[in-house]
Amino acid sequence: MEWTRSETLALAADSCSACHGLGLVFGIRGRANPCKCVLRSIFRACYARFRQCGEKEKYMTKVSLHFTRGVDRRQTWGRKDEEFVADFVLIARRSLTPEDYRIFNYHFLLGADWRLCSRRLKMDRGTFFHGIYRVQQILGRTFRELKPYGLYPLDEYFSTTVKSAEPVRMPPPNKTRRPLQPPVKLAA
């Protein structure tokens, strides 16, 4: 996936010493990579929406109609809030190592503070916070680069617009039919 400055500029931290607030760092071959502060910002945006969807009362959730891609353009019903919560947790489970997932589970899903997590996971404060930053960076990159549909940007996930990766092919015109020609009144 190609990262551009227009994507990362708004997400970058102004005080970041690696990217100086620009959001991109350049690798050995001159390839632009997102800064770690951008990846953590993407994770925090998705996590805030996860918390919002999880704390919402069940009577406030709604069923919505979604259009799907393809030739026949079918429509499906879904609950986007519940789907987002499930996708958030399943993506985290699949992309993190078991040790990182335990940190994610205790701190982000169960909501334990650093003292309780450090005691439960048997690690010191510095190691715990390095683990938190690592989890945020891994999941931030995964949420953005997931194919075919990523969790970030959130407006694309929750919107009902259909983004087509391929142009829709129209069937060839039927040559036996002529175009409709309405009668024209002659001027007298």
In this predicted model, what pLDDT tens digit does every residue of 85-138 receive, in sequence order?
Answer: 999 999 999 999 999 999 999 999 999 999 999 999 999 999 999 999 999 999
Q: Which pLDDT belongs to residue 33?
A: 85
Both tokens of 149, joined, read 């549909």
This prediction has a pTM of 0.76
**pLDDT tier for residue 77 given thresholds of 50, 70 and 90:** confident
According to DSSP, the residues that pair with 67 across neighbouring strands are 75
Domain assignments of the chain as residue spans, ordered by start: 5-158
Quick one: pLDDT at residue 171? 61
> Are 37 and 13 within 8 A, CB to CB?
yes
Task: Identify the helix (H) or strand (E) that includes residue 24.
Answer: strand 24-26
Question: Could you read off the pLDDT of 2-53 as tens digits, one per residue?
Answer: 788 888 888 888 898 888 888 888 877 878 888 999 999 999 999 999 999 8
Residue 76 has pLDDT above 90, yes or no: no
Please write the tens of the pLDDT for every residue from 150-188.
Answer: 888 888 888 745 555 555 565 666 666 666 677 777 666
Instruction: Determine the Cα–Cα distance for residues 22 and 10; give it in Å rounded to an integer.
Output: 8
Structure confidence at residue 40 (pLDDT): 93
Q: Which residues contact 3 (CB under 8 A, 6 or more apart)?
A: 24, 32, 33, 34
pLDDT higher for 71 or 94?
A: 94
Q: For 40-70, how does the pLDDT look when each residue is reduced to its tens digit (9 = 90+)?
A: 999 999 999 999 988 887 766 777 777 766 6
- The residue with greater pLDDT, 131 or 81, is 131
